[in-house]
C-alpha cells in the first residue's frame, strides 16, 4: 500500500558569490527585519524554473471548478472534452467489466468527475500524438495499479470467493478504506501537533484519522492537506477536517488522478512517462530508468518494489501480471524501448543526484549559501530541492512564501517582508571626504564609509557587510543631508 513519506532534510552550507544582485534594505516597520523586492524575487524564480518542463507540470495540475465537475454525468452533451474522450475510449461497459467486484462507492459517474476535474488527463495534444491511445493506456495503467492497491487478489479458480471467475486484473477497487480502519478511528497521526512546517500548513484535526482512503489509498495529514488545496481552491482544512470525503465522494477516484498527474521530484508524473513528455536524464538511464510500466512502479513505490532484491516480491510481480493481462486484453502495444518490470531499476530514493544538471526538482527550500555582501551573510533566496517542502515550484506565489515564511521561522534568521519594488541605493561619494562603501574592500576599526546618504564607522575588521544603523560591524555616525 503506497504512502507518500517525506525524506529527511539535508542541509548544505556553502559560500556563494553574488551572481544575482538583490536589493535588501532594513524594514522601517520592523527593527529586526528586512524588505526585499518582489520584482527581484520573481526574476529569481523565473531564472530557476526556466526549463519548459515546469510549465508542462503546472499545466497538468490545472483544475476545473467543482461546480462544473459535479454537473458531469455519463452521455451529457455539456461534458468537458477530456471526459467525452474517456466516454468514447472507455465507456460504461468497460468500467463494468473491470469493476464487477468493486465497492459501491466507486461508480462510473464518479470516475468521469474525477477525470473532469483535471483537463490534462485524457486531454488533447497538438503535436501529432494520438490522444485517444494515450488516454486508453493511461486508464489501463491506472487500473493495473488499482488492482494491486485496492484489489481482491482472488484466484480465478476460487469459485467460492470468486464465483464469476474474474481475472485478478478485473478485481480493482474492492476496498475504499484501508483494511482494519473505519471512520471515527484516529490514526496515521504521526507528527500531528508538532511545531513544524507540515503542521503549520496542514494542521491535523482533533479526532480525525488519516489512514488510507480511495483508489490510491491517500494517507497522512500532509497528503490530505495538499490534496484538499487542489480540490478546494487552496483550502487545506476541508479534507483535514473531513477526510472521509476521500472515501465517500468522487474524491475517492480524483485522489488517484491527482497522484497520476503530480511529479514527486525527481520522479516524473506518471502521465508524462506514458505520453513521453518526460525524457529520462542520463542519471536515470544509467540507473536503468526509462520508459514503460516498470517506471510507473518506481514512481509509486520504488523503494519497496524496485531493484534486483525485489525481483520476485509479491507486490511488483502482481502489478506486472495485472498490467500484462490488461494490456493484452486491450491490445495495448509494448514499445521496443519499454520495460514492464523495475527490478533492473535503481529505486528513485537511492538515486544519487549530487551534481546532476539534467534532473529537475519541484519544491522550494531556504538557500543556506553564505553571501558576504548581504546582511548577516544570508542569501535571502530559496532553492529547488528534491524532497517535499511546504512550497511548490508549480504553484504561483510559493517562491515568495518560501522567502518570507522560511526565513522568519528559523531561529537567528532575519524576518523578511516582500514589497513590490525597491529602488536600488544611490550614493553620492565622496561626502565630507568619505568614500562610498565597497563590497570587496576590507575595512579596519575606525575607518569610515558613506552609504545610502549616511556615514558609518567600522567597529572592527569587516568585509562585505552592508553598513546598517546600529547593526553588525558598523556604527552610525550621521545622516547626509
Tens of pLDDT, residues 28-65: 898 888 899 999 999 999 999 999 999 999 999 999 99
Q: Is residue 142 scored above 90 in pLDDT?
A: yes
Stronger pLDDT, 315 or 6, i.e. the higher one: 315
The total of other beta-carbon atoms located within 10 Å of residue 120's CB is 22
Check whether residue 411 and residue 430 sit in a common domain.
no
Is 153 inside a domain boundary? no
Among candidate residues 379, 404, 419, the one where a domain is terminated: 419
Look-up: residue for cell 518506481?
A: 298
Please give the pLDDT value at position 197. 76
Check whether residue 408 and residue 440 sit in a common domain.
no
Please give the pLDDT value at position 26. 87
Report d(CA 116, CA 30) in Å as an integer: 47
Report d(CA 414, CA 433) in Å as an integer: 33
Question: Cell digits for 67?
Answer: 461546480
Q: Kindly give, in sequence order, each residue whose CB lies less than 8 Å from that of residue 389, ignoring residues fewer than 6 positions away.
A: 197, 363, 364, 365, 402
Please give the pLDDT value at position 6. 32
pLDDT tens column, 263-291: 988 899 999 999 999 999 999 999 999 99
58: Cα separation from own chain's centroid: 10
pLDDT tens column, 64-82: 999 999 999 999 999 999 9
Check whether residue 402 and residue 431 sit in a common domain.
no
Among candidate residues 404, 419, 434, the one where a domain is terminated: 419
Look-up: residue for cell 507518500?
A: 4
Query: pTM above the 0.85 mark?
Result: no
Length of the chain: 481
Is residue 330 very low, low, confident or very high in pLDDT (cuts 50, 70, 90)?
Answer: very high
CATH of the domain at 479: 2.10.10.20
Check whether residue 371 and residue 398 sit in a common domain.
yes
- In order of 18, 23, 28, 449, 457, the CA distances from 437 in angstroms are 17, 15, 21, 5, 10
Is 205 inside a domain boundary? no
Please give the pLDDT value at position 378. 87
Check whether residue 413 and residue 434 sit in a common domain.
no
Please give the pLDDT value at position 470. 66
Report d(CA 250, CA 55) in Å as an integer: 27
Stronger pLDDT, 415 or 346, i.e. the higher one: 346
Question: Cell digits for 351?
Answer: 538515486
* Residue 466 DSSP symbol: P
Q: How many domains does the chain have?
A: 2
Stronger pLDDT, 429 or 255, i.e. the higher one: 255
Look-up: residue for cell 506565489?
A: 397
With pLDDT > 90 as the criterion, what percentage of the chain qualifies? 64
Stronger pLDDT, 107 or 362, i.e. the higher one: 107
Is 415 inside a domain boundary? yes
Please give the pLDDT value at position 27. 87
Is residue 425 very low, low, confident or very high in pLDDT (cuts 50, 70, 90)?
Answer: low
The total of other beta-carbon atoms located within 10 Å of residue 109's CB is 15
Is 278 inside a domain boundary? no
Is 134 inside a domain boundary? no
Check whether residue 433 and residue 415 sit in a common domain.
no
Report d(CA 154, CA 330) in Å as an integer: 21
Domain coverage including residue 436: 426-481
Is residue 195 very low, low, confident or very high in pLDDT (cuts 50, 70, 90)?
Answer: confident
Question: Cell digits for 158?
Answer: 476460487
Average pLDDT, the chain: 89
Is residue 20 very low, low, confident or very high in pLDDT (cuts 50, 70, 90)?
Answer: low
Is 403 inside a domain boundary? yes
Q: Return the bridge partners of 291, or none.
A: 338
- The phi, psi pair for 454, rounded to 5°, reads -150, 160
Please give the pLDDT value at position 368. 86
Is residue 4 very low, low, confident or very high in pLDDT (cuts 50, 70, 90)?
Answer: very low
SS3 category, 261: helix
CA proximity to 419, closest of 4, 36, 33: 36
H/E element, 380:
none
Report d(CA 295, CA 202) in Å as an integer: 30
Q: Catalytic positions, please? A: 149
Among candidate residues 374, 398, 419, the one where a domain is terminated: 419
Is 83 inside a domain boundary? no
Is 365 inside a domain boundary? yes
Stronger pLDDT, 108 or 35, i.e. the higher one: 108
Q: Is residue 13 scored above 50 in pLDDT?
A: no
Q: Are 146 and 174 in contact (CB under 8 A)?
A: no
Please give the pLDDT value at position 105. 97
Amino acid at each position: 500500500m503506497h504512502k507518500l513519506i517525506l525524506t529527511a532534510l539535508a542541509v548544505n552550507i556553502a559560500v556563494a558569490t553574488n551572481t544575482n544582485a538583490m536589493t535588501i534594505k532594513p524594514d522601517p516597520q520592523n527593527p529586526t527585519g528586512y524588505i526585499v523586492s518582489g520584482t527581484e524575487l520573481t526574476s529569481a524564480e523565473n531564472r530557476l524554473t526556466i526549463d519548459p518542463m515546469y510549465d508542462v507540470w503546472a499545466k497538468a495540475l490545472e483544475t476545473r471548478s467543482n461546480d462544473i465537475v459535479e454537473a458531469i454525468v455519463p452521455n451529457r452533451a455539456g461534458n468537458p472534452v477530456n471526459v467525452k474522450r474517456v466516454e468514447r475510449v472507455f465507456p460504461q461497459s468497460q468500467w463494468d467489466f473491470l469493476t464487477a467486484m468493486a465497492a459501491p462507492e466507486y461508480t462510473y459517474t464518479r470516475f468521469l468527475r474525477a477525470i473532469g476535474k483535471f483537463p490534462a488527463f485524457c486531454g488533447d495534444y497538438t503535436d501529432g500524438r494520438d490522444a485517444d491511445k494515450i488516454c486508453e493506456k493511461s486508464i489501463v495503467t491506472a487500473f493495473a495499479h488499482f488492482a494491486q492497491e485496492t484489489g481482491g487478489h482472488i484466484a480465478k479458480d476460487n469459485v467460492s470467493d470468486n464465483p464469476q471467475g474474474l481475472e485478478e486484473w478485473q478485481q480493482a477497487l474492492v476496498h475504499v478504506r484501508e483494511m482494519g480502519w473505519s471512520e471515527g478511528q484516529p490514526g496515521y497521526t504521526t507528527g500531528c501537533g508538532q511545531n513544524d512546517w507540515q503542521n503549520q500548513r496542514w494542521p491535523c484535526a482533533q479526532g480525525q484519522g488519516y489512514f488510507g482512503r480511495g483508489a490510491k489509498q491517500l494517507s497522512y495529514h500532509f497528503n490530505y492537506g495538499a490534496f484538499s488545496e487542489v480540490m478546494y481552491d487552496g483550502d487545506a482544512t476541508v479534507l483535514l477536517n473531513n477526510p472521509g470525503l476521500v472515501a465517500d465522494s468522487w474524491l475517492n477516484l480524483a485522489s488517484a488522478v491527482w497522484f497520476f498527474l503530480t511529479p514527486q521530484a525527481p520522479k516524473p508524473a506518471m502521465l508524462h512517462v506514458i505520453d513521453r513528455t518526460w525524457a529520462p536524464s542520463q542519471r536515470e538511464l544509467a540507473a536503468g530508468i526509462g520508459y514503460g510500466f516498470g517506471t510507473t512502479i518506481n514512481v509509486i513505490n520504488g523503494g519497496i518494489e524496485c531493484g534486483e532484491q525485489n525481483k520476485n516480491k509479491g507486490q511488483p510481480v502482481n502489478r506486472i501480471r495485472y498490467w500484462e493481462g490488461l494490456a493484452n486484453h486491450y491490445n495495448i502495444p509494448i514499445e521496443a524501448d519499454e520495460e514492464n518490470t523495475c527490478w533492473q531499476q535503481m529505486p528513485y530514493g537511492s538515486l544519487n543526484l549530487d551534481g546532476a544538471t539534467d534532473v529537475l526538482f519541484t519544491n522550494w527550500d531556504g538557500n543556506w549559501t553564505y553571501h558576504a555582501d548581504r546582511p548577516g551573510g544570508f542569501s535571502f533566496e530559496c532553492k529547488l530541492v528534491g524532497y517535499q517542502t511546504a512550497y511548490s515550484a508549480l504553484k504561483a506565489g510559493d517562491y515568495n512564501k518560501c522567502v518570507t515564511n522560511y526565513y522568519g521561522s528559523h531561529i537567528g534568521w532575519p524576518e523578511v517582508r516582500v514589497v513590490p519594488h525597491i529602488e536600488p541605493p544611490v550614493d553620492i561619494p565622496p561626502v565630507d571626504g568619505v568614500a562610498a562603501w565597497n563590497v570587496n574592500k576590507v575595512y579596519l576599526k575606525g575607518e569610515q564609509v558613506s552609504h545610502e546618504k549616511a556615514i558609518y564607522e567600522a567597529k572592527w575588521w569587516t568585509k562585505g557587510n552592508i553598513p546598517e544603523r546600529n547593526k553588525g560591524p558598523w556604527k552610525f555616525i550621521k545622516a547626509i543631508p
